[in-house]
């Protein structure tokens, strides 16, 4: 069952952080319109026009194909390089991009208690740009990474769904992480969050809700915590009607030195 979203602009009443407890140690914090439109627009224009974007070939499901979006990677000096889908993005450092340093500081203030040392930016040029279902489970981020994403530019759907595993695979994963789960994880009594403040209570959604949709807009912040990358996956699907460009800045903490 899917928790659907609305597409209304955020109001003063809906800008506060909203929490979604997915059970099993997984949770999402959503801050709609956290950054004002003029600030978000300024950041978007500065990054979209100046970053050296890459669009590499990647290896997915046994074949190579052109990545359906552009990317840019930045991190503290001396960290282990990021690699995914057979690709190692060019490694940039904060001192060369002061605007990204300022954005990182602002995001860390928005989600106190976290100090991110890397950022992968995805550029979705239009509705044909996308990212398929996946989890950010690279070893250099640890077994339970916290990922903060900032959306700039055109609004896009961001989907989250529970992973489907065999009983044996689930037991192996739980053993590796030292955790136990019930046969049926139940969504917390905390309301399920839409992208613009609308909520649906647990009774309406039922216990087997396994898919959520956020319509992330300009200046929105979304935080994935705990076992999200172990138990859930996310995607930005193609949307033919979308004409504008979106930047998704995903801030993470690399735990392994080079």
Q: How far apart are CA 210 and CA 3, in angstroms?
A: 8
Q: Does 122 carry a binding-site annotation? A: yes
Please tell me whether 252 is known to bind a ligand. Answer: yes
According to the annotation, is 92 in a ligand binding site? no
* Residue 177 assigned as binding residue: no
246 is known to lie in a ligand binding site:
yes
Burial 46-67 (b: 16+ CB within 10 A, else e): bbbeebeeeeeebeeeeeeeeb
Rounded Cα–Cα distance for residues 107 and 120 (Å): 14
Annotated binding site for 2-oxoglutarate: 122, 124, 134, 234, 246, 250, 252
Annotated binding site: 122, 124, 134, 234, 246, 250, 252
């Amino acid at each position: 069952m899917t928790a659907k979203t609305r597409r209304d602009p955020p109001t003063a009443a809906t800008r506060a952080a909203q929490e979604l407890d997915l059970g099993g140690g997984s949770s999402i914090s959503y801050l709609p319109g956290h950054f004002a439109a003029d600030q978000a627009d300024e950041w978007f224009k500065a990054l979209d026009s100046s970053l050296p974007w890459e669009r590499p070939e990647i290896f997915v499901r046994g074949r190579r194909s052109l990545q359906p979006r552009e990317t840019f990677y930045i991190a503290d000096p001396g960290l282990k390089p990021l690699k995914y889908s057979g690709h190692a993005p060019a490694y940039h450092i904060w001192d060369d991009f002061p605007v990204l340093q300022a954005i990182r500081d602002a995001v860390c203030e928005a989600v106190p208690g976290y100090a991110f040392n890397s950022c992968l930016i995805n550029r979705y040029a239009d509705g044909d740009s996308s990212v398929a279902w996946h989890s950010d489970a690279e070893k250099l981020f640890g077994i339970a990474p916290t990922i903060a994403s900032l959306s700039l530019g055109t609004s896009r759907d961001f989907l989250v769904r529970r992973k489907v595993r065999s009983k044996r695979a689930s037991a192996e994963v739980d053993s590796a992480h030292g955790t136990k789960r019930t046969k049926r994880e139940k969504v917390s009594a905390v309301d399920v969050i839409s992208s613009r403040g609308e909520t649906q209570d647990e009774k309406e959604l039922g216990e087997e809700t396994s898919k959520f949709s956020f319509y992330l807009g300009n200046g929105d912040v979304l935080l994935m915590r705990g076992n999200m990358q172990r138990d859930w996956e996310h995607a930005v699907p193609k949307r033919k009607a979308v004409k504008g460009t979106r930047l998704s800045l995903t801030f993470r903490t690399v735990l392994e030195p080079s």
